[in-house]
Structure 1
Amino acid sequence: MRTEQASGSGTRRRRVRFPEEEPPTAQDGWWQKTLRALKTLLLFSIILGVSLLLWGYVFQGCGPSPCKTPVCQDLLALYLASGNTSVAPCADFFSFACGNANRTSSPFQALEEENKRRVRRILETPGSWRLAPGEEKAFGFYNSCMNTGAIEAAGAGPLRQVIEELGGWPTSGNWTPSDFNQTLSLLMSQYGHFPFFRAYLQPLPTPPYLPVIQIDQPEFDVLLKQKQEPNYAQILREYLNYLYRLVTLLGGDRNQAQKHASFSLAINSQLNQMVGPGEQQRAQDKVFEMVTIDQLQRMAPTIDWLSCLQATFTPMALSPSDHVAVHDLAYLKNMSKLLEMKLSEHRDLLQSHMIFGLVKTLSPALDSQFQEAHRSLNQKLGELTGHPPMPVHPRWMMCMEKTEAFFEPTLATLFIRETFRPRTQSAAMELFTAIKDAFISHLHTVPWMDGETRAEAQDKLSQLQVKMGPSEWALKPDPARQEYDDIQLGPSFLQTFLSCVRSRQARVVQEFLQPVSSHRWQVPPWGLKAYYSIPDHVMVFPAGLLQPPFFHPGYPRAVNFGAAGSIMARELLHIFDRLLLPGGCLACDTRALQKALLCLERLYTALPSPKGTAFEVSRTLLEDAADAGALAIALKAYKKRLVLFRGETILPNLDLSPRQLFFRSYAQVMCRDPSTQDPQDIHSPPTLRVHGPLSDSPAFARHFRCPQGALLNPSRRCQLW
């Protein structure tokens, strides 16, 4: 075998081939194509999987999911029970949200009743609470009030004892004539009864907002103005029958009853006639007048003002040079003249008149015969005047309300422990901050507001304080305030009741004597009234309001913004009511403002009112403006929150999108029977409070796909706020 060697350029070398360098066969080409196809398919599958994951995360994660928690299920049941989905929402959204014929009460009424039941549960389970010294007296008072057997057994005896302490009653033949002002002073200071005028401590509504003694007309048991009542004669007879019955219950002489009752009725009517109309006082910008006690003494000399006020507001040290706020000076002058005339001839009849009024004041602490007499009078007067009578409450409710009044510090602390968690407070504060920020940014879109006014409004909103849920003293109560050392329980419920009356009055005076370190709450924690305090520049939302169905941390955001959020926005807007009044904003574009106000007035006038209701748009205009603006601001805040945070939820089985649920929750706040509205209410009927703002909202028409020209999608809209 010959082997080739490398021996020069012309010599050829033989190359050795390795197996991998063999030329591809047909089978090898097929395998390469299959491998490339598999790689492509794998890459496509990965891309598709990632895309599906991203789609699910972005769209499905941000899309609304049903809220199935117990609180949401309860809210869903309420919405289903109150609404009527057979009604077209664009034609009558009030009926769509509130039109169920089986609806028995408004959400506000239902929540108020639920809060009362919560307080009742607290009072009826004293062993469930760790009580500070003295706090058990609250439970002792409630139990004494509920002990009707002991109250009925005592009968009128405790009341007769009180009357004897006041000098007796001429109708019983056991009366010792006493000084009129001494008796009046005792009635005011010891028994909480003000027969001829009211005196109370309250901050003035104008700067510097200092607390001052204010004197106003009395609270009349029945209004006796002949020209206004077609059944005047029958009203007199019913009231006389009531007074006769009181004489009988107290063992008085029925032969003298007619004379004493007729006198009381006559003086009551005369005092009624002296009361000036509140509208006239407001028109004259004379809500009150500041006068010294000495000046008041000279203008209305029959009353010993210094001694009566000093006794009522002990331990305040009063002098003739101290000022008081008088709400109707003409009434006090005429009242003084009338009393001077009656005292010279009928001191005994005047004593009877004061006793009649005292019995009415003390009726909650008396046996059932006195309470039934007063209830019967209210019912008959309601039938004669056309006004609904006072509802008859169960015994526990009356006892609970009196316990709330006398022992608020104790019950406030226990109510907060029972119903209001820190999580709820922080969530409500977060909601309010979102509403306030939306309002501040919304001011740039208000067409009639000038730059300086807008800047002042923004600054005012930025400096606003807010109290959310419980007051500071309810969270950290001062033990010294809980002892109630001055309250004596027994020997009768009436004596217990009177001891509590005096204790509460003393606490009120002591609070006003203390230096003002923080805002004094005007509502208890279980109350539903949100308010704005001008003197303190503080807005308050009590814990009783921040409850289902208006608010809960676990609700869909659409519900909280639509219900509680619109309530918060409405209160914020009321801070600036002054700007909407004539001359309230001289630097603003008054023509644009008046045009917007007129547009809003026409918008509400064009809406159909419920049958049997009547309202004046001019009287309700400020509230209408707040309603419409609140909806716009709450919606703006909600839309911003959707952009910042994903994961919105909805209520199942309602077939409503999140934004539709927002409008549904806004309307739910207004659900109420229109026929129950007070004719003097400054708000529009509830149907208009729903339809007015919604018809002024383009977003509502868009999200409910309302056709142009539908009731809630008019061709023209207003822009006031």
Structure 2
Amino acid sequence: MGLLKSSFRCSISLSSVELPIYLLLLSFSLTFGNEQKVIRNSETDYSHAELVKSYMNSSVAPCDDFYEYACGNFENIRPDRYSRRENLGKPGYVLDDIAKELLHRMDLAESLNVSRELRVAQRFYNACLEADLHPFPAADSHYLNIIRSIGGFPAVDGAAWNASNFSWFNMSAHLTNYGARGIYSEVLPNNGRSEVSFEVNYLGFDAPVQLDNMKKQNKNKSWAYKRNEQRMRRYLRSFNLTEAKIAEVIDGVFVFWREALEEEYAIRYGVPFDVTNYFEIIWNQSEKRGSFNSDLQIRDRVCIRHPEAVANYLAMQLLYTFDSSLKDIKNQRDYCTTKMRTSMWPLFKKLHLAENFDKEKRSEVLNIVQEVRKSLQTLVEEVTWLDSEARKKALFQVSATEFHFGTPADSSLTDQLVREILRLEVVDDSYAVTNMNLLRLQVDIQRFRIRHPREDVNNTKPWKAIFGFDKNITNDNAIVEIDAGLLEPPYYHRSWPHSLKFGSLGFTLGEHLTTFLLFSSFEKMDLIYKDCQWKTFSKHLGPKVFQQLYLYTDSGGLRSAFEAYRSRRMQTLEDPEQKMPGLDLLPDQLFFLGFAQTVCYDLRAANWSRQPKYKLLSDLSNSEDFLQAFNCPVGSGMRPTNQTCQVW
């Protein structure tokens, strides 16, 4: 694969599959002026409309099943990518393409004094593109040397492995230095000073195993059992072990898993567990600065009985972390981009902020925030189930909540994190070593706040909220940090009509506000809503579907966003018949489509259940605004009865 040419801002070597998405993203990068009352003849609008249409299943009537109508074709979009987009609301693909564009922006980097860091990113990206990653070279001597230095690999080392020198706890601690999932993991404080805690990890690789999975192994092997068996077999075959030996090693790991799961179902004893070695390995000191889970004591009993199986398991967990898991060599470019962005996010966030967050964009987003806030305040004032004290408290909470986005509160700390990237050593003749160095760097950046507590003593904001490069919305002391990914499609783009912006970004902001109010003040709301849902929908939807629906009690985000949109439309005197080019939907209908497509998800993804669909159906089935927008008749899938349950 060819080297990166730093003088080019965009690559034009695109496959026929990549070209439509490239053109779409290129259109997103254009600079737009002020919003027009009526959007006409915009290339970006047409491009986005085509993308929106590609997710939809137009053969399904919106009043029958709005999720299938809005998202029914989503799982068929871009299945060739390195890792499928599991949820349209996860902006990883968009951010990856932005990072790939920024990788060429040496002019921008020089203006921000981060050109050296960008060159490091370029060197890693090129090294990754040129590496032999498919199939994964598990037997690379550099990987094996690391494994042997932290605990060993008895399946490979045989009689040379000494069980008396093995500590499962210490080996697991070493795994955390590479971001690998060992027997336990550290939980870094969100906004504290220096305390960490520990939690027991789930067992398995591609899929977590449960006790019932293990009990079925001699009869009808479960999906999780088979996936993990295949993963271990692939790694062990790389070392030219016999099939008999491979089967023996895998059986040993499964026995360890089964006994560990059985013990965890037994009574848990609150016996203190000595974690001194963890602090010596990770922090180079023996001072205990955290809490430890008593479940570690349970795992300890099982691990002591099966040292060889545990060592083999942990060795393969480390290989699993090093593994790119490419299904095809064509996915390598996507993998390298994701790897670069997620490991060096402080650099790409700094570049992205400078390039994309101008005054006009900030101003409009803050206007959306204010419109949604005012709308929610009105709803709080109008609902009848609040007493005067609760209403006063709610109004104060809504008005006091501050929304920050784009720029971290502490720019000096951001610059320190960016400079950490200079520590990355890219080894020209060994991607394995470069890969391990990058993983260490990524973990060190995550631990930076604890390693330098004095430099961050006055900063109490949540770590991820300040520095994440995704779509995180977190709340700490009534301060909401909106991250970069939330200001990209499918949540927001400056050229979109107001209906789409309020349906996606507006809803997300409103949902956050009302969810925070719900959990801080309104237990009564929960009871009212569930009682109404039971009386109205249980006999029409069936107990199984209803059980999923009634879990969700917050429809205030949707209502407040729609009222805010309606207010904006009246203020700007927008054409009530305004449409987005290429989509035969009225503005109110486009609002709800935008809302729905923020939660499209891929049913084939292992870690997704159907809950996002049920939440969407619950919100819309109880929205009079939605039912009127699409003129849904009583008895249809989205309107099973003539009654709705609205608490806002």
Q: Place the TM-score, normalised by the shorter chain, in its bin.
A: 0.7 to 0.9
Quote the offset at 1:81 in angstroms: 4.2
- Name 2:44's counterpart in structure 1: 71
Quote the offset at 1:108 in angstroms: 1.4
Per-residue CA deviation, residues 499-556 of structure 1 (Å, 9 max, x unaligned), is 23333333333313231425245269885544232x4433233222222343223322
Counterpart amino acid of residue 522 in structure 1: K
CA contact (8 A) 2:46 2:582 kept: no
Which of 246, 253, 275 matches 1:264?
A: 253
- Name 2:550's counterpart in structure 1: 621
3-state secondary structure, aligned to 2:424: coil
Quote the offset at 1:145 in angstroms: 1.8
Give the alignment's Cα RMSD to 1 decimal. Answer: 4.2
3-state secondary structure, aligned to 2:316: helix
CA contact (8 A) 1:243 1:261 kept: yes
3-state secondary structure, aligned to 1:650: coil
Q: Is 1:517 aligned to residue 463 of structure 2?
A: no
3-state secondary structure, aligned to 2:480: strand
- Name 1:599's counterpart in structure 2: 532
In structure 1, list runs of 5 or more residues that go unmatched: 1-62, 282-288, 290-295, 365-370, 376-390
Q: Is 1:501 aligned to residue 439 of structure 2?
A: yes
Counterpart amino acid of residue 165 in structure 2: D
Counterpart amino acid of residue 623 in structure 2: S
Quote the offset at 1:663 in angstroms: 3.4
- Gap change, CA 1:227 and 1:417, over 3 Å in 2: same
3-state secondary structure, aligned to 1:108: coil
- Name 2:212's counterpart in structure 1: 227
User: 1-side partners of 2:596 and 2:566: how far apart?
Assistant: 18
Counterpart amino acid of residue 531 in structure 1: I
Q: Is 1:137 aligned to residue 92 of structure 2?
A: no
Counterpart amino acid of residue 195 in structure 1: G
Quote the offset at 1:431 in angstroms: 0.3
Q: Is 1:338 aligned to residue 302 of structure 2?
A: yes
Which piece of structure 1 moves more, 154-163 or 436-445? 154-163
User: 2-side partners of 1:481 and 1:69: how far apart?
Assistant: 37
- Name 1:158's counterpart in structure 2: 142
Which piece of structure 1 moves more, 66-75 or 429-438? 66-75
Per-residue CA deviation, residues 364-413 of structure 1 (Å, 9 max, x unaligned), is 3xxxxxx57xx7xxxxxxxxxxxxxxx99812232223222321211222
3-state secondary structure, aligned to 1:504: helix
Per-residue CA deviation, residues 65-100 of structure 1 (Å, 9 max, x unaligned), is 453322222233344445566766555555554567
- Name 1:57's counterpart in structure 2: none
Counterpart amino acid of residue 262 in structure 1: D
CA contact (8 A) 2:487 2:493 kept: yes
Which of 92, 102, 107 matches 1:122?
A: 102
User: 2-side partners of 1:420 and 1:575: how far apart?
Assistant: 27
- Gap change, CA 1:606 and 1:632, over 3 Å in 2: farther
Q: How does 1:168-207 map to 2 (within 5 A)?
A: 168-170=152-154, 171-173=156-158, 175=160, 177=162, 179-181=165-167, 184=171, 187-188=174-175, 190-193=177-180, 195-203=182-190
Q: Is 1:324 aligned to residue 257 of structure 2?
A: no
Share of identical aligned residues, percent? Answer: 17
CA contact (8 A) 2:102 2:352 kept: yes
Per-residue CA deviation, residues 2-61 of structure 1 (Å, 9 max, x unaligned), is xxxxxxxxxxxxxxxxxxxxxxxxxxxxxxxxxxxxxxxxxxxxxxxxxxxxxxxxxxxx
CA contact (8 A) 2:56 2:69 kept: yes
- Name 1:693's counterpart in structure 2: 619
Q: Is 1:218 aligned to residue 201 of structure 2?
A: yes
- Gap change, CA 1:90 and 1:493, over 3 Å in 2: closer
User: 2-side partners of 1:237 and 1:712: how far apart?
Assistant: 39
Counterpart amino acid of residue 157 in structure 2: S
- Greater C-alpha radius of gyration: 1
- Name 2:239's counterpart in structure 1: 250
- Gap change, CA 1:565 and 1:602, over 3 Å in 2: farther
- Name 1:37's counterpart in structure 2: none
- Gap change, CA 1:719 and 1:190, over 3 Å in 2: closer
Which of 335, 338, 343 matches 1:398?
A: 335
CA contact (8 A) 2:177 2:443 kept: no
Q: How does 1:470-549 map to 2 (within 5 A)?
A: 470-472=407-409, 477-478=414-415, 481-490=418-427, 492-512=430-450, 513=453, 514-517=456-459, 519-522=461-464, 529-533=471-475, 535-549=476-490
Q: TM-score, normalised by structure 2?
A: 0.76
Quote the offset at 1:164 in angstroms: 4.1
Q: Is 1:639 aligned to residue 619 of structure 2?
A: no
CA contact (8 A) 2:138 2:235 kept: no
Q: TM-score, normalised by structure 1?
A: 0.69
CA contact (8 A) 1:416 1:474 kept: no
Count of aligned pairs: 585
- Gap change, CA 1:493 and 1:154, over 3 Å in 2: farther
User: 2-side partners of 1:324 and 1:428: how far apart?
Assistant: 41
CA contact (8 A) 2:109 2:115 kept: no
User: 1-side partners of 2:317 and 2:382: how far apart?
Assistant: 56
In structure 2, list runs of 5 or more residues that go unmatched: 1-35, 79-84
- Name 1:11's counterpart in structure 2: none
Q: Is 1:564 aligned to residue 505 of structure 2?
A: yes
User: 1-side partners of 2:226 and 2:282: how far apart?
Assistant: 35
